[in-house]
Structure formats: C-alpha cells, structure tokens
C-alpha cells in the first residue's frame, strides 16, 4: 500500500510554492558556493539547522553546498532529527513510502529500514512524523543538491548516545550514503549568552565529545551525540562551517536561537596524505625494510630502530604490510592490520617477519636477496561493514579500492587492495580470501564479519 507523508510546514518554515522554494534554495546555495574553496572535500555526514529558512537557510546552505560534487554518487540519505510535537522513546521510522515537499516526492529506502528494524530502540511511529519539521526542512536542500535519492527519515526521542550510534553504524554504508543530523542550538537566550553557550557546543562537536553537550545546548542533542560518538570511533575529522544565531539573521537580539553547520569527513584524504608521505620518505622506508632483512640474515632478528633519529612523520603510529616477491611470485607477506606501534618500527619488524616468519615459505636465504622485489603498503584504520548477506557484502565492496578483513568461527584472513590486480571481480576476491582463511568458498553464516580499509603502496624492484 502506498502512503505519502505530506509536507507539514510548507508555507511557514519555507515557501509553499515550488517556484519560490526552488529559487530561495538556489539563492542560499549560490551564496554559500561563492565562499567555498575549490576542491573542498565531500563530507560523509553533516549537522544542519532546522529553523525557518529566513533564519537558518544561510547556515544550512553552507553544509549542503559541500555535497554538490557527489550528487551522482550519493544515492541514500539518512536524516535524524529531534521530536518537537509527539514525544517518543527511542527512534521512529515512518510507514510512508515517500516524503513529499513542494519540489516533489522522495521515495523511502525500505531496504535500509529493514536493516535496522530488529534493533530494540527502533519502532514505526507515524504520529511523531506527521507534524515534525526537523526532518522536513532538510529535504528541499537535499532535493536541490542531489536530485534523485532514497530517504530514510528517523525522528529521535529519548535515546541514549550509544543507541543512536548503533543505528548510524548499521546504516553507515559507503560513499553512496549520506548522514544528516538536524539540530538547532541554544534557545531563547539573549544574544551574548547564546553566543557563549553555542561556542561551548561548537567546541564539543569539534572535539567529538558528546559528553560535553548538555540538555540546554541543542534540541537535537541526542542524534548529535550519537553521531559524535560514532565519528570518534571511526576516526572522522570535523570542520565547523558556520555558527550564528537568529540575532545575526532575521531576528532581534533579546531572545535568539542558535544555529550551526558542521561537516564530518572519513579517511578519504588518507591515501593522498599517505602518498605524500611515501613520496618523501618511501625510499627511506624501502631501504629500512631491506636493511632489516639483511640484519635478520646475520642475526636472526629485526633491525632495531632509534626513534630519536626519525622524522616525526615516520615515528608517528602507523600500520603496514611488507610484501616480498621473486620473479613475480609471492615470497612472503606479513603486516599489521591495526596500528599498534611507530610506522618505522612496524616496517622493520614486518620486513623481517615477511622474510623469515611467513609460515607459507621457508626462511629467506642470502642467495635470494638478489632480485627480491619489495613493497610496503601503509593501511588506513579499518571500518566494520554492516552486511546482511554475502550478496550485500559483494555489493558494498569497491574493486581496486578496498582492502578486506573477514572473520567467522575463529577463522580470519586479510587481503590488501593490491590483490584486486590478480582478482578483479568481487566474487573472485571474496572466494580466494575465504580460502586463505580456511573457509569453504560457499561459506556464509549470521556471525560472518567483515572490515574494510584502504592503503597506499610503494615498491622497488630488487637488483
């Protein structure tokens, strides 16, 4: 049965006519784009205000304009906002099949709703959606920037930080999924008091510190705090895009409401930064790896590294794999899936282990040093993948980009992104990784877990 949630605040919070609404949103976005630096990264998540456009449209546009370069990539938007009309416990889905605005209907992502339906904090509760404006006011901006997409709207009531974080984590997805948190800041303080309190909230958001946000600091504090907790675990960075209040826009300064916009970024810049590091220090790391192998031949131990002699970029924590090949054939590959020591120490230790402790091969001999091909892959932090089936896992994988870790029933294995060169299809990639883990190629169970990461690689052919 088809049901469409009709707009509740068209004509009050924003124009009720499609032409005027489209023109206003385009005007807000154009003004924000004029201040935008070229090449600005696309956020994974944003926080945007939900007041009437005359008050907070300028601030909201500073977040939404960042999405334009990914208009063809983002296919699903998860929007969380607080309840202002009908209270609830937990988070509420809608039974509607679409949400409507004067700019058209947006289909609901029923598959995403099914993905979280089993969580105890989730319920379907249409009454809290019917008149709620916190979600609705975000939609025209999304329609203007993204065009067609699927929507999963969630009203957040009394819900703990971890309860919200769990929902977001399950829905996180890849670059096709955008997270939008709808929240205003302080309410009905005088101008100076509001600025002081909102500055504290801004600092808490920038520090990814949900515990520092009190009940009087943001009406959408519950979804905000859930995002902050998850952003910290996933290693996201945050950028403040705007901070103001109604006294700066269309209201008086006696009683104001605060507004802010923030963008949260994943490790999308990891490869660029790591590539820059390897461009500068890669030859030194390759030399270190080779020296550690030679040291192992002489003393049966890895080369000891004095961190005081290392550049800061190399003595900083890092995780790597060292791969050895001869005549194009694998000769050893050992590494660290997670950061647990300095990058230079990790390189030295893993080079030694690849040469002498890979159980698949005999220890490297002196004669094999000539013609040995050596490469180093520096890994990003891994992110858990929320998967419902093997088909879902294959759909989420990004060939040529993702490294993958799988685990089930005590068996675990990892493939670096470079393996895609030999196994370019997702099904091949996963089948061979299962075999590496000691699992049957057709294996699947409800306890199957997967994590993905990216990596930057440097190599040098042996002489």
Exposed/middle/buried for residue 120 (C-beta within 10 Å: 0-12, 13-18, 19+): exposed
Pairing of strands 45-48, 76-82: unpaired
Total residue count of the chain as it appears in this document: 463
> Lowest mean pLDDT: which of 31-40, 48-57, 247-256?
31-40
Q: Which of 286, 288, 194 is nearest to 245 (CA)?
A: 194
CATH of the domain at 122: 3.40.830.10
Q: For a pLDDT cut of 90, what percent of the chain falls above it?
A: 84
In this structure, are 345 and 448 located in the same domain?
no
The whole-number pLDDT of residue 49 equals 98
Q: What is the mean pLDDT of the chain?
A: 94
Residue 269: pLDDT band (50, 70, 90) is low
Task: Answer yes or no: do 247 and 117 share one domain.
Answer: yes
- 127 found inside a domain: yes
Domain count of the fold of the chain: 3
Is the pLDDT assigned to residue 13 strictly greater than 50?
Answer: yes
- Tell me the C-alpha distance between 111 and 92, whole Å: 16
Which of 378, 407, 422 delimits the end of a domain?
378
218 and 132 share a domain? yes
117 with 151, same domain: the answer is yes
Which residues neighbour 344 within 8 Å (Cβ) at sequence distance 6 or greater? 285, 288, 305, 307, 310, 314, 315
What pTM, to 2 d.p., does this model score? Answer: 0.64
Same structural domain, 105 and 42: yes
Domain final residue pick, 265, 297, 315: 265
Q: Is the pLDDT of residue 449 over 50?
A: yes
CB 51 within 8 A of CB 246: yes
Q: What is the torsional sign of CA 55, 58, 64, 66?
A: negative
Same domain? For 291 and 351 the reply is: yes
**2 vs 68: which has the higher pLDDT:** 68
Are 161 and 77 in contact, with CB atoms under 8 Å apart?
A: no
315 and 285 part of one domain: yes
Q: Of 265, 286, 321, which residue constitutes the final position of a domain?
A: 265
Q: Are residues 154 and 26 in the same domain?
A: yes
Full residue range of the structural domain in which residue 427 is found:
383-456
**pLDDT at 2 > cutoff 90:** no
pLDDT of residue 338: 85
Residues 260 and 290 in one domain: no
Contact 3, 97 (CB under 8 A): yes
Same domain, 258 and 327: no
- The CATH code of the domain that includes 311 is 3.30.700.20
**b (16+ CB within 10 A) / e for 337-348:** bebeebbbbbbb
Residue 333, in any domain of the structure = yes
pLDDT band, very low/low/confident/very high, at 463 (cuts 50, 70, 90): very low
Both 351 and 404 in one domain: the answer is no
The domain spanning residue 405 has which CATH number? 3.30.1490.150
Confidence of residue 273 (pLDDT cuts 50, 70, 90): confident
């Amino acid at each position: 049965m088809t049901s469409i949630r009709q707009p509740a605040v068209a004509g009050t919070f924003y124009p009720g006519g499609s032409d005027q609404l489209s023109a206003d949103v385009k005007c807000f976005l154009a003004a924000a784009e004029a201040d935008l630096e070229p090449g600005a990264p696309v956020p994974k998540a944003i926080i945007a205000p939900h007041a009437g456009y005359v008050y907070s449209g300028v601030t909201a546009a500073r977040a939404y304009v960042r999405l334009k370069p990914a208009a063809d990539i983002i296919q699903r938007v998860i929007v969380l906002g607080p309840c202002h009309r009908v209270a609830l416990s937990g988070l509420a889905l809608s039974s509607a099949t679409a949400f409507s605005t004067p700019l058209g209907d947006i289909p609901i992502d029923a598959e995403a709703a099914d993905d979280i339906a089993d969580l105890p904090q989730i319920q379907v509760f249409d009454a809290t959606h019917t008149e709620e404006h916190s979600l609705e006011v975000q939609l025209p901006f999304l329609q203007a920037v993204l065009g067609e997409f699927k929507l999963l709207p969630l009203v957040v009531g009394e819900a703990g930080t971890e309860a919200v974080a769990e929902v977001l984590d399950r829905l996180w997805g890849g670059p096709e999924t955008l997270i939008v948190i709808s929240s205003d800041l302080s309410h009905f303080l005088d101008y100076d008091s509001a600025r002081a309190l909102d500055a504290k909230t801004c600092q808490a958001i920038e520090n990814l510190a949900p515990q520092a946000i009190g009940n009087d600091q943001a009406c959408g504090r519950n979804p905000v705090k859930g995002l902050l907790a998850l952003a910290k675990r996933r290693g996201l960075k945050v950028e403040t895009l705007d901070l103001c209040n109604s006294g700066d826009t269309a209201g008086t300064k006696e009683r104001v409401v605060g507004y802010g916009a923030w963008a949260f970024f994943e490790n999308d810049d990891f490869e660029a930064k790591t590539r820059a590091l390897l461009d500068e220090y890669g030859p030194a790391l390759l030399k270190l790896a080779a020296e550690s192998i030679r040291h192992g031949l002489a003393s049966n131990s890895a080369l000891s590294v004095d961190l005081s002699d290392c550049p800061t970029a190399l003595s900083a924590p890092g995780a790597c794999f060292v791969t050895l090949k001869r005549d194009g054939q694998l000769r050893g590959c050992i590494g660290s899936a997670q950061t647990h020591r300095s990058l230079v120490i990790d390189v030295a230790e893993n080079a030694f282990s690849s040469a002498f402790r890979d159980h698949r091969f005999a220890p490297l001999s002196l004669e094999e040093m000539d013609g040995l091909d050596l490469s180093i892959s520096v890994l990003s932090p891994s992110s858990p993948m929320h998967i419902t089936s093997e088909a879902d896992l294959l759909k989420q994988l990004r060939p040529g980009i993702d490294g993958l870790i799988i685990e089930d029933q005590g068996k675990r294995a990892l493939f670096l992104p470079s393996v895609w060169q030999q196994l370019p299809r997702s099904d091949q990639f996963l089948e061979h990784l299962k075999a590496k883990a000691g699992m049957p190629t057709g294996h699947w169970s409800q306890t199957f877990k997967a994590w993905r990461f990216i990596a930057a690689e440097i190599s040098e052919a042996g002489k």
